[in-house]
Copies of this chain bind each other. A is one copy, B any other.
Amino acid sequence: MSFPRVGVIGAGQLARMMAIPANDLGIEFKVFAASQADSAAQIANFIVGDYESAADVVTFAKGCDVVTFEHELVPQRVIKALEQSGVKVYPRSESFSFSQDKLIMRQKVAQLGLPNPKWERYEGGPTSLPYPLIAKSPTGGYDGRGVWVVKNSNELAELHKSVPILLLEEKLDFDYEISVMVARSPHNQAATWPATLTIQKDGICTQTVTPAPQLTEELARQVQQAALEIAQGIELVGVMAVEIFILGENFYINELALRPHNSGHWSIEGSNTSQFEQHLRAILDLPLGSTALRASYSVMGNVLGGEKSDMYRPYLHLMARTPSLKFHQYGKEVRAGRKIGHVTLIGENLLELQQEVQHAVDYMSGVIDE
């Protein structure tokens, strides 16, 4: 048999969920973990290593036909060392930089003629953007970390002391945020799913709705088109989340994540092809799968760590109350505010789906008792 082996640098929940379609497709699957306790290492073949060590990563990759990533933290020098070692690496280092460095991303979006918020690279001195503004560390931030709201020039000067290069952006008073998942293969086949509404609280996504219900048909078409243009423009191979702000009939590109993404978890149940299977198909240069929906709406809720440490006992109540609810546990220890799992419900009645999902995550986190 000639089934290929895919190696994933990183062993969190994204790699864990990628193991499922890999097994179904018969693809050998191995993860490069930081620890044997990592989410994906619990259920897949793994080796433990340091993703900042080019030697460790290249050794791991030798036994793989394709190597990919589940987070943005792998340094460019390591990715380039991988490429130079002759291993197939997707996304390519150059493409991946648009996910790792927000300044490079802003330049690229502008170059593609797609709408950015007003932005500037900041290395000190005055700024032309009005306060309050958004300041971002160009690299390393996620889930609200590395992002600051800056109210005045004193605050900016203070921040600049600890972060010498910043991306400044106008603070858009947007109506809501969406994400468009898109996939592209080396053959240049590409596919998107319908846009997903991402509901945030304190900078962390708590619930998603697909398709985003408020989006007009015209805007829905435009954002899918934009995602395809970016995928083409950065020569994406794999899946990517394009995070977007919506303000009236306008949209603005927020961020890119070149990997399976929290905003695409709904696709496991809600689409004919999940983002995890599509990522595998893309990096293996197989024909992409259908992104057709299996129901009118898919609602996903993140389970955040709360007061309860037992994530099993809630099943007794929740499975009885909502027999269609699907659970996804990441095998992570419960810590306050940490994403430890998610639930998904697909169907026709959006309000009911949202209520049931909210109830489930509140019950699992201990926010409510019944």
Q: Do B295 and A294 have beta carbons less than 8 Å apart?
A: yes
Chain B: minimal CB distance from A187 (Å): 10
Query: Could you say which residues of chain B place their CB within 8 Å of the CB of A312?
Result: 1-4, 26
Q: Do A311 and B341 have beta carbons less than 8 Å apart?
A: no
- Known A281-B319, A311-B1; contact A328-B24, beta-carbon cutoff 8 A: yes
Q: How many copies does the complex hold?
A: 2
Q: Do A319 and B286 have beta carbons less than 8 Å apart?
A: yes
Question: Which of A311, A315, A320 has the largest count of B CB atoms less than 10 A from its CB?
Answer: A315
- Known A1-B334, A289-B319, A323-B288; contact A26-B311, beta-carbon cutoff 8 A: yes
Q: Do B24 and A324 have beta carbons less than 8 Å apart?
A: no
Chain B: minimal CB distance from A285 (Å): 9
Q: Do A323 and B1 have beta carbons less than 8 Å apart?
A: no
Give Cα A25–Cα B333 distance, bound, in whole angstroms.
15
A233 at the binding interface (Cβ < 8 Å): no
Question: Which of A286, A287, A290 has the largest count of B CB atoms less than 10 A from its CB?
Answer: A287
**Nearest-CB residue, chain B, relative to A270:** B294
Cβ-defined partner of A3 (8 Å) among B1, B2, B273, B311: B311
* A contacts, CB < 8 Å to B: 1-4, 16, 19-20, 23-26, 43-44, 272-273, 281, 286-290, 292, 294-295, 309-313, 315-316, 319-320, 323-324, 326-329, 331, 333-334, 341, 346
